[in-house]
Amino acid sequence: MKAKISAKVKIILCVIICAVLLIPIPAWYKDGGTFELNAVLWSVRKEHSISWEDRIDGYNIGTIVRVLLWKVYDDVKFVPESELQ
């Protein structure tokens, strides 16, 4: 005889699965101020990190949004330190 799962149990399981897949875990990096929200299905990274290009000191500033491992938005740009002052 097959055991039937009630509708309430199915709804509770769906809510738990959605919560695990969609609720983010915050992370802060010690690279100048980068902040990231990571969930299983998506992530958002607010970048502010110290960097250098062509021997010029500066910062990478911007936002990266990923959905299912694909970048859907990326506006991170290198800003020389001389432009910030």
Q: Domain range spanning residue 35?
A: 24-84
Write down the pLDDT at residue 33.
87
**Residue 1 has what pLDDT?**
57
Is residue 1 classed as helix, strand or coil in its secondary structure?
A: coil
Taking the model in full, what pTM does it have?
Answer: 0.78
pLDDT, residue 2, reads 64
Is 9 inside a domain boundary? Answer: no
- Span 21-57, pLDDT tens digits: 999 999 999 887 899 999 999 999 999 988 888 888 8
> Is residue 53 assigned to a domain?
yes
In a domain? residue 10:
no
Domain count, the chain: 1
**Under 8 Å CB-to-CB from 45, ≥6 apart: which residues?**
34, 35, 36, 37, 63, 64, 65, 66
Rg, C-alpha atoms of the chain? 20
Does 76 map to a domain?
A: yes
Measured CA to CA, the distance from residue 66 to residue 74 in angstroms comes to 9
Structure confidence by residue, pLDDT tens digits, 59-68: 999 999 999 9
What gap in Å lies between CA 16 and CA 19, rounded to an integer?
A: 5
